Chains A and B, each alone.
Chain A
Amino acid sequence: MNLMANILLNVLIAFLIGSLLYGLQRKVMARIQTRPGPPIIQHLLHTLKFFIKESSFPYTAAMPFYIAIASMLCAIWVSAVIVGPVIEGSLLLFFGIYALQKIVEHNAGSSSGSPYGKLSCVRAVFSAAAEVPLFAVLVIIYLQTQTMVISDIINYQAVNGPLIFTIPLAALMFFVLILSKSPDSPFAITKGKDIVSGYETEHFGVLRGYLMISESIAWYMLLWVFLTVFIGPLGILGYLVGMVAISVLIAFINATTPLLNPNHSIMVQITFAFIGIVGSLVLMMVM
């Protein structure tokens, strides 16, 4: 297939499936909490709606940073799709993309001038301090497979079996990272309802649409990387079942767990990272 068509198709799939998985998550959470919940396509409709709404910008915003940052978030996750499903490139590059995304999340909050966005920005710095150690999972994968290139990791698993069985604690670390990105998770301190919607509070119209597209693609990509790196070569059905299963599991955790305060959230994440890193290294030495 033509490269450009391949990229467009994968971005479209990532957006649509990511949106529907978010919708599914909200539905499952609602049912657990004995509420009817919104329809599964609600997140998708919500995203599209923002593109026909009026866009307004706060007079306090840092222009043109405030506008550029929302579009950059979208561009960054499109890059992730290119690095992932399209060219199956380096996981280190994916980590770089994730790091840039944290920066955008930070600045989307601070550039509006809103106190809620500002608090979200400070929390983003804290959460980055906790999520970066979780990304040590990449080093563990590298030590096990001797490569960071996704296509080589897939080949490794085709020969040696899924990595989830050989480095389960690393898989747990990555799962905690995915959980942190879920909007209603106990670790979602940057979007806590105590600070309204955090960095999204002052984004309206098209800019909010960009942020929501990015969220959907981000969710799809994190699940794709998890399944590809820890389960191995999967077909379309395998990916769909895996993504739905993880989304439902995370919805269950979200529905039954309160939002942690920032300090607790970071300590829990760092504890998971510490257990994951030390435990994986011990397991690799023993096995």
Chain B
Amino acid sequence: MDIATLGGQLLGQIPLGDIVLYLTPFNLFMFVGALIFTTLIAISRTETQVEAEFGSLNDNEVKVGLKEFKIRRFLAVVCGLATAGAMITGDVFNFTLLVALIGILNIGIVSAVKQIDVLNAAFQYGLIAMIASLPLFGGAAIILASTGTLSILEIAQLSFTTPMMFFASLLLILGIAGETGIAPFYATKAEMFRTPGSPFIIIIHLSSLLVIVRAIEILLIINKPF
């Protein structure tokens, strides 16, 4: 299996001990995209939501308080960095670790908001994300057990796919779907987006979509359909 058939020509590798990062145009674009968004989040202030007041002609302005702003910005920046890391990592365990971290940070970004509906949605999403961590790490563990390595570059060079690798991929899909809150888990997550703090909630959406795109690449490499 040639990694270049998926993300384009291999531009280079960054060996950091056991951890080997690799770069194709696909990985590089996603990595840079995540970093640009993270930088913007770090320097932005939040919007003021304007809502019509019930029973009068006045407007109700919903703002983010300074204390809440600081903690949410910190969590959003860490989430952006974790997402960027997940885009270039060449190791399945690191990928799952960063995805789990993204799930935790997503809950944190929303649970700092003092709105009952939003907190309910965050609680439900949190339950799913926590449950999903079991198949997520279980999938990575089974891949290690069945291939002897967690390196994506090594797995790409294997000439076989065993049923256990396929089973591990199914667990990974389940784990990633739960952690990122995609369909069929998206309903509770969308409710979380009603909260103010636009630059912070965007990282929740950004991390989910980018992780899914990267997961497609990793799963195709593991399963080697050809």
* Interface of A toward B, CB cutoff 8 Å: 59-66, 68, 72, 79, 83, 89-90, 92-93, 95-97, 99-100, 102-103, 106-107, 110-115, 118, 121-122, 124-126, 128-130, 132-133, 138-139, 142-143, 146-149, 152, 270
Contact = CB atoms under 8 A, between A and B. Distances in A.
Q: Interface SS of chain A: helix, strand, loop or mixed?
A: helix
Q: Interface SS of chain B: helix, strand, loop or mixed?
A: helix
B205 A96 contact: no
A92 B25 CA distance: 10
B213 A96 contact: yes
B45 interface: yes
Interface size class of B (residues with CB under 8 A): 35 or more
B209 A62 contact: no
Contacts of B40: 64-65, 68
A270 B6 CA distance: 25
Contact of A129 (B7, B24, B186): B186
Contacts, number: 143
A58 to B, nearest CB: 8
Contacts of A59: 48
A113 B47 contact: yes
13 contacts: A64-B40, A65-B199, A89-B25, A99-B210, A103-B202, A112-B47, A113-B47, A115-B50, A125-B190, A130-B183, A147-B5, A148-B5, A148-B7
B222 to A, nearest CB: 13
Contacts of A133: 183
A36 B136 CA distance: 57
A176 to B, nearest CB: 15
Interface in B94-121: none
A115 B193 CA distance: 12
B26 interface: yes
Contacts of A63: 44-45
Contacts of A90: 6-8, 24-26
B75 to A, nearest CB: 17
A132 B226 contact: no
A124 B209 CA distance: 12
Contact of B50 (A89, A95, A113, A152): A113
A121 B8 CA distance: 32
A110 B201 contact: yes
B183 A110 contact: no
Given A93-B7, A110-B198, A62 B45 contact: yes
Contact of B220 (A118, A142, A270): A142
B6 A103 contact: no
A96 B29 contact: yes
Contacts of A125: 186, 189-190, 193, 205
A92 B26 contact: yes
Interface in B29-53: 29-30, 33, 36-37, 40-41, 43-52
B39 to A, nearest CB: 10
Shortest Cβ-Cβ A-B pairs, 5 listed: A62-B47, A129-B186, A110-B198, A113-B47, A99-B209
B156 interface: no
Given A62-B198, A132-B182, A148-B6, A139 B216 contact: yes
Nearest to A68: B40
Given A92-B26, A92-B216, A113-B47, 15 more contacts: A61-B47, A62-B47, A62-B199, A90-B25, A95-B213, A96-B29, A96-B33, A103-B209, A106-B202, A113-B48, A125-B205, A126-B186, A132-B209, A132-B212, A142-B220
A92 B213 contact: yes
Given A65-B199, A90-B25, A95-B213, A122 B194 contact: yes
Contact of B44 (A65, A122, A124, A139): A65
A63 B41 CA distance: 10
A147 B193 CA distance: 36
Nearest to A122: B193
A60 B6 CA distance: 43
Contacts of A65: 40-41, 44, 198-199, 202
Given A62-B44, A112-B47, A107 B209 contact: no
